[in-house]
Every structure is written in structure tokens, then in C-alpha cells.
């Protein structure tokens, strides 16, 4: 394996047994020609979908969007973007041009939107921006769209929602997963990757199952723990007001995502329930062990030492720029293995 570089340092030219590429300290620069001229149709103009539309516009990639709420459409139009509240007309436009459709709606709305895509845009390519992948892949298969689909998940966000929270720079330097399952078509994967790259992200290939296991531990369980910490601050009635008065950066940092709309957190956690249960079991076991150590030995040194070491390993994690090869036998498996080993993609040949 070639030389590796820190995820938190400015990378140099390295190799991974693939054609090597480069990325800068914040990921893919906004100052480049689009990676594709295939127009992108974004369904759902909330924080993620709206930010995708803005980022693509910044990159010069043709893009337009749909949202159920006329107010969001009006706001997008007022900001100079091409948006509509007519789903059928929007999908027919995507179908006629063979455009890339990005589904960025909440999980409860997925089935209805996918059914509409199957009916009105069967010739479009399909990806999504939902934070679970196995559940979405099953829904895509049920709609008969697997042959045009590669899953996506931009690992970025804020505690805010709606068009008013959108930001063209949201994905700059962020990781954007594009799933490479055994049935993923090469052209669908390539086009999904160009969307992420044109938004300023770096691409990490992954399998749906592996993705869901990972995000259960670094995202979904974090939301649940943040809610629990926020609640814990109020559980001692005698100290509740003082606790709020004294809360500073550590409390704010840990509970930031507890400010996310509960309906959004519920949807993503419930769609990844099996993996999340495993992650929560491990988190609870760590807390129980820490409590037992404190009660029996008067220290929490075990968890603090191990936690400190784990955080340092995260800070020093290695990412290796690679260039994907989307042909030949088991190219999807090769991409998954590269992603598992820390490979990231910053450009397509």
C-alpha cells in the first residue's frame, strides 16, 4: 500500500494501488469546471437538498429542484434558482433529458417520491441524500429503480432545517458516501459521485450495510446520547436552573445535535434500528463500566484513558486519495475495500 496522509493535514500526492489524485485541506475546491454537464434534479429543498442546489449552482453545474412547500419554492426562486412545486412536471423534465435525480426528502416521504420517480422519470439516473442506505436501497428496489441507482449520503449538516438554513459551502471538505453494492450500475455510481464532487465534497465508496453500521456509531447514536445528556441536565430539580446557568462549551458541544427537529432524528434512527441497537448496547456498556469503576474504585480512569486514545486515533485517521476504476469484474467490491481502508476520491478521470 502506498504512503498515507492525515485526514486533518494538507495531503500530498500519494497512491493506493489505484491511480493517485490530489485533494486540498478543505476537500474539492469550488474553483473547477463541473465534473459532469448532466443536469441534476434535486427533490426536496430543505437543509441538505437546498444546499446541494446552491452548491451545484456555485460550481456551474446545471441544476433545478422541486419542493412540496410552495413557500420554499418561492424562496428558492427569489434567490435565483430554478425550482417548482409540480413534481410530475419536474420528473418528466428529468426523464426526457436523462438527468440525475437526487432524492433529499425525509424518510417518511421516500416511498411516495420513489413511486413518482418510477412512473414519471424511469430514464433518469437516481441517487439520494438520506442518512441510511440499506433501508433506502430496499425501497428503491421495491420501486423497480435499482438499475439506475447509486446511494448517496453527504456527511454534513447543522441543527437547523428548511430552505432558510441552506448554504452553498455546507459540503466543502465533507465526506460524501456513494454506495458501491454488488448491483450498483457503474454509470449510476459515476454520476452520483460527480454530484458530491461538484458540491465540494470528497467521495468515500462503501457498501450499504457497512455504511449503516458505521453511521449508527458516529451519527445516529450520537443524536440519542445528545438527547440523553440534555435531559440529564434537568433531572435534578434542585440543580436544574443552576445547571442551565453554568452550562458552557462542553455541554453545548455535546448537545448541539439535540437541537435537531425530533421528527428528523426519529426517522433516521428508526430506519437504522438494528445497527443503532448494537451501537447503543456498546455505549451503555461503556457507561455502566464507568459507573461501576467510579463506585467501586473511586475513579473513571478506565473510560477516560480509552476515550482519549480513541479520540486521538480519530484525529490521526488516514485518508488516501484514489481514482476509481468502474469496470471489470467486482469493481464494486474493489471500491468498497478501498473505502474501508481510508480511500477517498477527489476527481474522476
Angle at 341 between CA 338 and CA 346, to 5 degrees: 55
Q: Which domain holds residue 142?
A: 5-206+317-345
Q: Closest by alpha carbon to 62, among 254, 194, 217, 238?
A: 194
Same-domain status, 101 and 10: yes
| Residue 341: CATH number of its domain | 3.40.50.720
Whether 302 is covered by a domain: the verdict is: no
- Within the chain, strands assigned E span 5-6, 40-43, 63-66, 83-84, 100-103, 125-128, 152-154, 175-179, 202-206, 318-322, 343-345
pLDDT of 120 strictly over 80: yes
How far from 320 is each of 20, 165, 317, 340, CA to CA, in Å? 9, 32, 10, 11
pLDDT of 186 strictly over 80: yes
Same-domain status, 45 and 91: yes
Query: What share of the chain in percent tops pLDDT 90?
Result: 83
Last residue of a domain, one of 253, 272, 289: 289
Same-domain status, 282 and 327: no
List pLDDT tens digits, range 52-68: 999 999 999 999 999 99
| Residue 241: CATH number of its domain | 1.10.3660.10
List pLDDT tens digits, range 282-299: 999 999 999 999 999 999
The answer to whether the pTM exceeds 0.75 is: yes
Same-domain status, 123 and 54: yes
177: which DSSP letter? E
| Predicted local distance difference test score (pLDDT) of residue 27 | 41
Same-domain status, 333 and 232: no
What's the domain count of the chain?
2
Distance CA 288, CA 294 (A): 10
List pLDDT tens digits, range 305-349: 999 999 999 999 888 899 888 888 899 999 999 999 999 999 997
Amino acid at each position: 500500500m502506498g504512503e498515507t496522509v492525515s485526514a486533518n493535514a494538507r495531503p500530498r500526492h500519494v497512491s493506493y494501488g489505484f491511480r493517485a489524485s490530489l485533494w486540498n485541506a478543505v476537500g474539492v475546491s469550488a474553483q473547477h469546471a463541473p465534473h459532469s454537464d448532466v443536469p441534476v434534479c434535486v427533490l426536496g429543498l430543505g437543509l441538505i437538498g437546498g444546499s446541494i442546489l446552491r452548491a451545484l449552482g456555485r460550481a456551474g453545474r446545471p441544476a433545478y429542484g422541486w419542493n412540496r412547500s410552495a413557500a420554499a419554492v418561492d424562496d428558492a426562486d427569489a434567490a435565483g434558482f430554478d425550482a417548482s412545486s409540480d413534481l410530475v412536471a419536474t420528473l418528466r423534465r428529468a426523464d426526457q433529458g436523462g438527468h440525475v435525480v437526487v432524492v433529499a426528502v425525509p424518510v417518511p416521504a421516500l416511498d411516495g417520491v420513489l413511486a413518482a420517480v418510477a412512473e414519471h422519470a424511469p430514464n433518469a439516473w437516481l441517487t439520494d441524500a438520506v442518512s441510511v442506505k440499506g433501508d433506502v436501497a430496499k425501497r428503491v428496489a421495491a420501486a423497480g429503480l435499482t438499475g439506475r441507482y447509486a446511494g448517496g449520503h453527504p456527511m454534513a449538516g447543522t441543527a437547523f432545517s428548511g430552505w432558510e438554513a441552506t448554504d452553498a459551502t455546507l459540503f466543502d471538505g465533507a465526506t460524501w458516501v456513494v454506495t458501491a453494492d454488488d448491483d450498483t450500475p457503474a454509470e449510476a455510481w459515476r454520476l452520483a459521485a460527480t454530484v458530491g464532487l461538484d458540491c465540494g465534497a470528497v467521495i468515500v465508496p462503501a457498501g450499504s450495510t457497512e455504511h449503516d453500521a458505521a453511521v449508527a456509531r458516529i451519527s445516529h447514536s450520537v443524536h440519542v446520547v445528545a438527547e440523553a445528556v440534555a435531559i440529564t441536565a434537568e433531572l435534578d430539580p434542585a440543580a436544574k436552573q443552576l445547571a442551565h446557568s453554568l452550562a458552557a462549551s462542553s455541554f453545548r458541544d455535546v448537545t448541539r445535535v439535540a437541537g435537531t427537529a425530533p421528527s428528523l432524528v426519529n426517522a433516521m434512527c428508526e430506519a437504522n434500528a438494528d445497527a443503532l441497537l448494537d451501537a447503543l448496547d456498546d455505549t451503555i456498556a461503556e457507561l455502566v463500566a464507568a459507573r461501576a469503576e467510579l463506585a467501586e474504585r473511586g475513579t473513571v480512569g478506565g473510560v477516560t484513558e480509552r476515550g482519549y486514545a480513541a479520540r486521538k486515533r480519530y484525529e490521526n485517521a488516514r485518508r488516501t486519495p484514489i481514482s476509481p476504476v468502474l469496470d471489470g469484474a467486482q469493481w464494486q467490491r474493489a471500491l468498497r475495500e478501498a473505502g474501508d481502508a481510508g480511500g477517498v476520491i477527489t476527481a474522476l478521470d
